[in-house]
Amino acid sequence: MKTIRILKRSLSITGLVLTLPIIGMVFSKEVNWDLLDFLVMGVMLFTTSVLLHYIWFSHTSSKWRYGLIVLALIAFFLLWIELAVGIFN
């Protein structure tokens, strides 16, 4: 039951965050996402959200918990930046 709740919460967070580029596409011509962009970002957000929930509930030591959360967020943002502008080329 707890796993289903975490997956539903992660899916809700992903859907909520993905509404921001949709709103941006309505009001601005600079935001130009296609279906592949939404799919890739949806998978990234969902995976990161599930990973953060797993880290938060599985580690009791706050030192390890916060360190792993920061590491997961850094990995998410580096991948996002690489896909957006290619900083490692």
The whole-number pLDDT of residue 89 equals: 72
Q: For residue 52, give the nearest of 29, 75, 28, 83 by alpha carbon.
A: 75
The whole-number pLDDT of residue 43 equals: 96
**Rounded mean pLDDT of 23-40?**
92
**Rounded mean pLDDT of 52-62?**
88
User: Where residue 57 falls among pLDDT bands split at 50, 70, 90?
Assistant: confident
The whole-number pLDDT of residue 1 equals: 65
pLDDT above 90: percentage of residues in the chain: 69
Query: Greatest CA span in the chain, whole angstroms?
Result: 46
pTM: 0.86
Torsion angle of the four alpha carbons 10, 12, 14, 15, in this order, in degrees rounded to the nearest 10: 160
CA distance 84 to 33: 11
Per 3-state DSSP, what percentage of the chain is helix, strand, and coil (rounded to 5)?
85, 0, 15
